[in-house]
A and B are shown apart, each in its own frame.
Chain A
């Protein structure tokens, strides 16, 4: 039936969030005419949200980059691909010979495919000779990856979205699925309507709280105390699984000693959540036969974000609610390929499947495959790259699909770093805040224009197929990266991304059975055995650690990196809204702006009254590092003492407000706790967003 209406229909995977909806993209005259959900998509089961279904007009925006641009004076001029490639190769070669390979770094993209991320890491490691490669999961779920590996062994969700359908209880902490992950949000809502008991923990009263049995609103930055308090009650009231703890874990005694101090009363002091509610949450979770825990960036983007994820692992292990149907730990990943970009080894310290660059056997395997010697020392992560650029050690960066000047914290610091580079390449679909500092801008492809695989939040490799061609002179990222590498002297030897996938599977035992044929329409969840058997549920019999045991972590609550004081009285939390996606590069170029056209500052009526702010007023928001202005939305959904805003519109420059505080283990920025001063604009001269130091 669709054949009569459209020229071409391909089944692909959505390029917005990490849910990984399977989509049917219908093209007409070289444009995407419509998108509908694939009925057999395992993550979406015939559903999508307004981003996946409707927000595709950006692909044909006249603002798309359609030819390479080279810096000339204060602006850019159009250049041929030959010239752009030649400039990149000559500059990178020069910088490498003058300052060594470690003066060059690259950022892979969690928006790109697995194959592109793998190719860029290979280019850095084999063609340049450095491990200076990182990706944007650094600023979102790197704490999750770190903690899951530390506690359980593997860096991924322990189950699948279908576990939500089989759970009796779901504990949601620091995640707002109906806005950030709408299709999983709809799944949770349907499950709740059928009787799933929801506990929501968030400083905002999220929509799902209305469908739950209990909502807890801890002060931002006190998640650790919250989880320790629940664990305390679970243990005190005997809701633990002693057999599971004895047979499958270690370190429980040390945790018990720590838990003694986290009585509900003590936790109430820290979090502001009533002791009785903490007891209730513990009993609802502890008494369930099956319970899953879901979290998002509200857990990770904190100074001790990775530790909170370890504490959540504790809770699941002490109650034996892990490794079985309905009992899963499900981190909801923000971007379509946050899971995959890290899986692929686009990290400064690991090859594919998180095998360390210092591991001699692994390094030798890649040396043999790629035919070049490879560095054993780990490279720089994103914050270290910016510091090194400012310090003069890092000279060149190749940034693929990430607008660091918009989305990374402490914008002033990022811009100083970019300005200090001798050479910056941006591979992008639109000009953005970061490309302003580029020397060469390469026009690349959106997800509807390329082939390869994405890995969703369930560890599921899924196929991506091109519905349309890249616009004008733009090229696929795969072609660009493999060409640059070839011109740098390292031929990767692939014709299509499927050849890359074959190499990834061949060199990575965990992905051994992943192939174009085996992926089919439903994809495969790693680890995938050579015969194509995949793993919807991890750890059914053992954890993926040396002795097969899960490790309890006795980690106390520590205060967040920022706190309100006399001058900065409110705590700002940042996040997403349904209609827009991250820096808004795509969704702002669609009719989604007709639905939401700006970032709002949500403020509680009590605070609004105290500060003489009315609904719709323009307000100034000032932090210790920056200042911006926003329109106020007065709503009781946010707790008193807190304000919330999204970061979708570049004119807001929300990240001007965020300082340097970051996760102690992974350097993931503390986006979620920023002390701010909010006041009506009338009280001071009108500011446009600017840096305090500027």
Chain B
């Protein structure tokens, strides 16, 4: 077991526990963006920064392992300021603000990210894959957090999604960028479930035209025959 202090409280956790898990166990909130409890920690987004006494800079809570005697401050002003700036920059690349129910919008709200970006600039151009009967991919909303790719690999095990492109052009492709329908996708939906921006979501949640199977459930008057 390892003993440490989180926000002034003594905490004892098993060896190998991450700061994020320890903070969560201690009832403390740490913002996350690329983290999903169903997947291995990834440490890509730098939103889960916390201060560890003696450390030259804030550390990512999701990939830092607890050590004896650590004194952790999850509400360190520098860490929170950086986390807020990261989320603000991520959102500034989207052509439309993220929908309020999405994880990224909720983290932004909780971190006090202003609605109007301070650093407006180029935004991703709109590109949609809507061929699959269930899964919709709005590539312009992709923030390359990698959660969908890891869900496909680590939760489902189908390996249908891949990170593609570099820098501003970084995105995610299904198959050889052939779209969900023509990839090896088994439509388990794990990617849509984990996506924090609705870049991957369900067709039916996009609104628009109803399904051919949605034809009302009024009283039936048809008399069947054998």
Tell me if chain B binds chain A.
yes
A residues at B contact (CB < 8 Å): 1-2, 4-5, 31, 33-34, 36-37, 39, 45-50, 53-54, 57-58, 60-62, 64-67, 69, 74-78, 178, 182, 186, 189-190, 193, 431, 436, 471-473, 578-579, 589-592, 594-595
Determine which of B38, B106, B204, B225 lies in contact with A34 in the assembled complex, contact meaning CB atoms within 8 Å: B204
B101–A2 contact, CB under 8 A? yes
Query: If A1-B101, A62-B217, A591-B211 touch, does A37 touch B193 (CB 8 Å cutoff)?
Result: yes
Closest CB of chain B to A421's CB: distance in Å?
15
Give B198-221 interface residues, CB cut-off 8 Å to A. Answer: 202, 204-205, 211, 213-221
B101–A62 contact, CB under 8 A? no
Determine which of B38, B154, B188, B218 lies in contact with A53 in the assembled complex, contact meaning CB atoms within 8 Å: B188
B187–A595 contact, CB under 8 A? yes
B155–A67 contact, CB under 8 A? no
C-alpha gap A189/B37 in the complex (Å): 19
A47–B216 contact, CB under 8 A? no
Told that A75-B226, A182-B188 touch, could you supply 17 new A-B pairs with CB distance under 8 A? A1-B101, A37-B193, A45-B38, A46-B155, A46-B193, A47-B38, A47-B156, A48-B189, A49-B188, A50-B189, A54-B187, A57-B213, A62-B215, A75-B223, A186-B188, A471-B217, A591-B134
- Contact flags B24-67 to A (C-beta < 8 A → 1, else 0): 00000000000001100000000000000000000000000000
B219–A33 contact, CB under 8 A? no
Chain A residues with Cβ below 8 Å from B121 are none
A46–B38 contact, CB under 8 A? yes
Chain B residues with Cβ below 8 Å from A69 are 224
B residues at A contact (CB < 8 Å): 37-38, 100-101, 106, 133-134, 154-157, 186-190, 193, 202, 204-205, 211, 213-221, 223-226
Chain A residues with Cβ below 8 Å from B186 are 49-50, 178, 182, 578
Chain A residues with Cβ below 8 Å from B211 are 57, 591
C-alpha gap A189/B186 in the complex (Å): 14
CB closest chain-A residue, reference B155: A47
C-alpha gap A428/B187 in the complex (Å): 28
Chain A residues with Cβ below 8 Å from B189 are 48, 50, 53-54
CB closest chain-B residue, reference A474: B217
B187–A50 contact, CB under 8 A? yes
Closest CB of chain A to B108's CB: distance in Å?
13
Query: If A472-B218, A594-B133 touch, does A589 touch B205 (CB 8 Å cutoff)?
Result: no
Question: Chain B interface mostly helix, strand, loop or mixed?
Answer: loop
Query: If A5-B101, A50-B186 touch, does A34 touch B219 (CB 8 Å cutoff)?
Result: no
Chain B residues with Cβ below 8 Å from A57 are 211, 213-214
C-alpha gap A351/B218 in the complex (Å): 40
Closest CB of chain B to A619's CB: distance in Å?
27
Closest CB of chain B to A394's CB: distance in Å?
21
Chain B residues with Cβ below 8 Å from A58 are 213
Closest 10 CB pairs of A and B: A591-B133, A471-B217, A189-B157, A50-B187, A57-B213, A75-B225, A62-B215, A594-B133, A53-B189, A54-B134
CB closest chain-B residue, reference A55: B134
C-alpha gap A49/B37 in the complex (Å): 19
CB closest chain-B residue, reference A193: B157
- 22 A-B residue pairs with Cβ-Cβ distance under 8 Å, sorted by A, are A1-B106, A5-B101, A36-B193, A46-B38, A46-B155, A47-B155, A53-B188, A60-B216, A62-B215, A62-B216, A62-B217, A66-B218, A69-B224, A74-B225, A74-B226, A75-B225, A76-B225, A78-B220, A186-B157, A436-B226, A590-B213, A595-B187
Chain B residues with Cβ below 8 Å from A591 are 133-134, 211, 213
Chain B residues with Cβ below 8 Å from A589 are 213
CB closest chain-A residue, reference B100: A4
Closest CB of chain B to A591's CB: distance in Å?
4
C-alpha gap A12/B218 in the complex (Å): 26
B187–A186 contact, CB under 8 A? no
A60–B217 contact, CB under 8 A? yes
B213–A190 contact, CB under 8 A? no
Closest CB of chain B to A206's CB: distance in Å?
14
CB closest chain-B residue, reference A471: B217
Chain A residues with Cβ below 8 Å from B37 are 39, 46
Query: If A61-B213, A74-B226, A591-B211 touch, does A186 touch B219 (CB 8 Å cutoff)?
Result: no
CB closest chain-A residue, reference B187: A50
C-alpha gap A431/B189 in the complex (Å): 30
Determine which of B106, B190, B202, B226 lies in contact with A47 in the assembled complex, contact meaning CB atoms within 8 Å: B190
Query: If A61-B213, A62-B216 touch, does A78 touch B221 (CB 8 Å cutoff)?
Result: yes
A48–B213 contact, CB under 8 A? no
Determine which of B157, B202, B218, B221 lies in contact with A54 in the assembled complex, contact meaning CB atoms within 8 Å: B202
C-alpha gap A193/B226 in the complex (Å): 52
CB closest chain-B residue, reference A431: B224
Closest CB of chain B to A81's CB: distance in Å?
13
A76–B223 contact, CB under 8 A? yes
C-alpha gap A356/B133 in the complex (Å): 49
A473–B134 contact, CB under 8 A? no
A186–B101 contact, CB under 8 A? no
C-alpha gap A74/B101 in the complex (Å): 53
Chain B residues with Cβ below 8 Å from A53 are 134, 188-189, 193
C-alpha gap A182/B205 in the complex (Å): 24
A66–B220 contact, CB under 8 A? yes
A33–B205 contact, CB under 8 A? yes
C-alpha gap A48/B186 in the complex (Å): 11
Determine which of B38, B133, B219, B223 lies in contact with A77 in the assembled complex, contact meaning CB atoms within 8 Å: B223
CB closest chain-B residue, reference A590: B213
Query: If A5-B101, A48-B188, A431-B224 touch, does A472 touch B202 (CB 8 Å cutoff)?
Result: no
C-alpha gap A291/B154 in the complex (Å): 23
Query: If A78-B223, A190-B157 touch, does A50 touch B188 (CB 8 Å cutoff)?
Result: yes
Closest CB of chain A to B200's CB: distance in Å?
13
CB closest chain-B residue, reference A192: B157
CB closest chain-A residue, reference B211: A57
Chain B residues with Cβ below 8 Å from A62 are 215-218, 220
Query: If A50-B186, A50-B188, A186-B156 touch, does A61 touch B133 (CB 8 Å cutoff)?
Result: no
**Looking at B156, B188, B226, which has the most chain A CB atoms within 10 Å of its CB?**
B188
**Looking at A62, A75, A190, which has the most chain B CB atoms within 10 Å of its CB?**
A62
Closest CB of chain B to A586's CB: distance in Å?
11
CB closest chain-B residue, reference A592: B133
B220–A472 contact, CB under 8 A? yes
Closest CB of chain B to A284's CB: distance in Å?
21
Closest CB of chain B to A347's CB: distance in Å?
32
Closest CB of chain A to B215's CB: distance in Å?
4
Chain A residues with Cβ below 8 Å from B100 are 4
CB closest chain-A residue, reference B217: A471
C-alpha gap A36/B190 in the complex (Å): 9
A34–B187 contact, CB under 8 A? no
C-alpha gap A69/B219 in the complex (Å): 12
C-alpha gap A130/B211 in the complex (Å): 46
**Looking at B154, B189, B202, which has the most chain A CB atoms within 10 Å of its CB?**
B189
A186–B155 contact, CB under 8 A? yes
C-alpha gap A53/B134 in the complex (Å): 10
CB closest chain-A residue, reference B212: A591
Chain A residues with Cβ below 8 Å from B205 are 5, 33-34
CB closest chain-A residue, reference B157: A189
C-alpha gap A579/B186 in the complex (Å): 8
C-alpha gap A50/B156 in the complex (Å): 11
